[in-house]
Structure 1
């Protein structure tokens, strides 16, 4: 059982890897016994772990397993871990663990049984881990790998290095910070490319095949990942696809839940559940809705695609305002909470109000707010409480 898996593991570890390393690689505490790296398909989870393995000394016995390998399906994760630790195995890496039935039970047993075995796994949905019946989240250190930030995209495109900007610092010093960055590069020259094809690291190798590959990855999420993790009838998969197309074509604040439910032939309770599934899978972002795991239990005020690259595969010509807001939400949501305020477009961390618009946007709609800023597209350097949209791509 172990020999063919070890052979494949060694082959996988010899692959040539990108030189660029995502920021999360430096933040993970690899001393922990059970580590999970969650994130959307294509975000770079596999690459990140293979890069980590390059730093692991040859003396440490490693097994890298792809979760949908036939031997994993035949024997199960626990039996494989047991055999591996019996031959002195020290580090077990399981890629795409969401493809394993009962993975939470097996991980719990492995953690509780083999104290000298370190396990690192990747998965496409943190929600499935958080809600695991076996209380896995209490044992595992979970990390989330988001899509590429605009800052990371610029580093890949230019070879330059840029520091991530804490939001509070950005708000206080945005003029000086923007001037410093603009003195090195012209961010506005790169932003359209990022919005279209820069959110997932594989854009560099994919070239003209990027959008077909992104479409394929998204379809795998809808057709395979979600049904594997949650009880959903396969005949309802088309409803998920139709939801994505309709939301792509709509304004974020122009969503009528009743009409949407009718259009995709779902009742509102099921619609809320499916919206939650799409958000957990990294395809949608919901503002203003309380959630319980992968289910939405209150009406969302705004619905966005997870990132701006998804527009190109789910609808042809998105509105400029929708793309701007999607970019802002994608960049801020990784480290901050987002809600829909009484005035403005976003309430961040329950204290900062932002109104998103074009270069000529004013504070008229948020003039009564105390901690409020205009976020302007097409603006290179801001002034006072008007900040260029691109700069928020530097928050991680």
Structure 2
């Protein structure tokens, strides 16, 4: 176990502290068993290590952070580690990349039952179905989702501009004060356009010139490693999944014609829908339905977006249309803030929480499509101040 402590010390020494997200305060770290999940690249591992840095002294052996993809676990079990750790006085075990350890759920459950004094934090891919991995474990585990950086966080970490978080009802009912505050400190429209292309993933700060390369690596890792490991996708079909991503990335927002897409990829219609679900769970796509209450296992989405606008710029093989970037941003910011987003069909672009209707466009976008619709708004990307029911689109970036 001393080997793991040495690695723990190295991890802590190399942990960046420039970006410490507010999620740090929103997670109930004192729970006996919590899980931090999210798409690859959003900063789950960094958040766990930062928690240790902020709450424990250097060389404090009551806490241990370890990544379960370590070769150490090829000859040692989690149960053995937990026993030795508790005997030595350990009280908090941070287990990163749990999906890399076969049978992790059974051993974590047993550790939970054997050592009630031990607090356990686990993290893994958003493909990690903790609720399905073990029914008993799911009842004990509190799950926290970590998304990419919001526009507000982008301004805070990259532009040194600190603004408060707002709720959607606040933004819609009283947009003026927030707009005035933002406009007094910066010109938001230009910064918003920058955010659409860069800054959703925290690793943008590491080396901006490699940003899109790293995004491509994230997508490839999800397809080549995580889908076979966590969703049992046959390796022989990975090329078809990459073709699927390529087709949709070049045509978003994609209104699904399952038969046509299936023929283009070379799989059946139900298989296409299954792959779309996997890619959505992995944080590559956002799937929109006209009615989220009646979604079944093989329900076909009405519209498909990439999960965030940075993916759009990284994967597009031609110039990105601003309309697509606007809509992608809106879906991402709303969903990451915990809102339900449905495809609006003929009445607006999106219906949110079953109440609000949003039409996305520029400053010249008219109200004809949402005329007479209660709680309806136009969200425009190229304005700084609200006028009636026309609000700046970038305000959605202050929800989280």
- TM-score scaled to structure 1, two decimals? 0.95
Partner of 1:326: 328
SS at match of 1:311: helix
Farther-moved stretch of structure 1 (167-176 vs 310-319):
310-319
Q: Deviations over 1:193-247 (max 9, x none)?
A: 2111110011011220111111112211111112111111011111221111111
1:336 and 2:339 aligned: yes
1:382 and 2:386 aligned: yes
The equivalences for 1:34-53 within 5 A come to 34-53=33-52
Distance 1:251 1:44, change over 3 A: closer
Farther-moved stretch of structure 1 (26-35 vs 7-16):
7-16
Q: 1:349 aligns with which of 342, 350, 353?
A: 353
Report deviation, 1:383.
0.6
Contact 1:240 1:274 in 2 (8 A): yes
Query: Any unmatched runs of 5+ in structure 2?
Result: none
Report deviation, 1:133.
3.0
Q: Deviations over 1:361-384 (max 9, x none)?
A: 111111131110011121111211
> Aligned equivalents of 2:304 and 2:297: distance in 1?
12
Report deviation, 1:140.
1.0
Farther-moved stretch of structure 1 (376-385 vs 244-253):
244-253
Contact 2:248 2:254 in 1 (8 A): no
Contact 2:97 2:124 in 1 (8 A): yes
Report deviation, 1:127.
5.1
> Aligned equivalents of 2:136 and 2:301: distance in 1?
28
1:202 and 2:203 aligned: yes
> Aligned equivalents of 1:236 and 1:35: distance in 2?
34
Contact 2:128 2:230 in 1 (8 A): no
Partner of 1:280: 281
SS at match of 1:202: helix
Partner of 1:245: 246
The equivalences for 1:61-210 within 5 A come to 61-125=62-126, 128-210=129-211
Contact 2:33 2:112 in 1 (8 A): yes
SS at match of 2:359: strand
Contact 2:15 2:46 in 1 (8 A): no
Farther-moved stretch of structure 1 (70-79 vs 354-363):
70-79
Partner of 1:395: 399
Report deviation, 1:92.
0.9
Runs of 4+ in structure 1 over 3 Å off: 57-60, 289-292
> Aligned equivalents of 2:138 and 2:254: distance in 1?
34
Contact 1:9 1:64 in 2 (8 A): yes
Contact 1:104 1:136 in 2 (8 A): yes
SS at match of 1:333: helix
SS at match of 1:241: helix
SS at match of 2:99: helix
Report deviation, 1:74.
2.7
Farther-moved stretch of structure 1 (342-351 vs 247-256):
247-256
> Aligned equivalents of 2:17 and 2:290: distance in 1?
38
Q: Deviations over 1:103-135 (max 9, x none)?
A: 222211111111111111111126511221344
Farther-moved stretch of structure 1 (308-317 vs 22-31):
308-317
SS at match of 1:356: strand
SS at match of 1:276: helix
Partner of 2:222: 221
> Aligned equivalents of 1:81 and 1:320: distance in 2?
51
> Aligned equivalents of 2:15 and 2:71: distance in 1?
25
Contact 1:93 1:121 in 2 (8 A): yes
What's the C-alpha RMSD, in Å, of the aligned pairs?
A: 1.9
Query: Any unmatched runs of 5+ in structure 1?
Result: none
**Aligned residue pairs, count:** 394
Report deviation, 1:289.
7.2
> Aligned equivalents of 1:159 and 1:133: distance in 2?
43
> Aligned equivalents of 1:245 and 1:219: distance in 2?
12
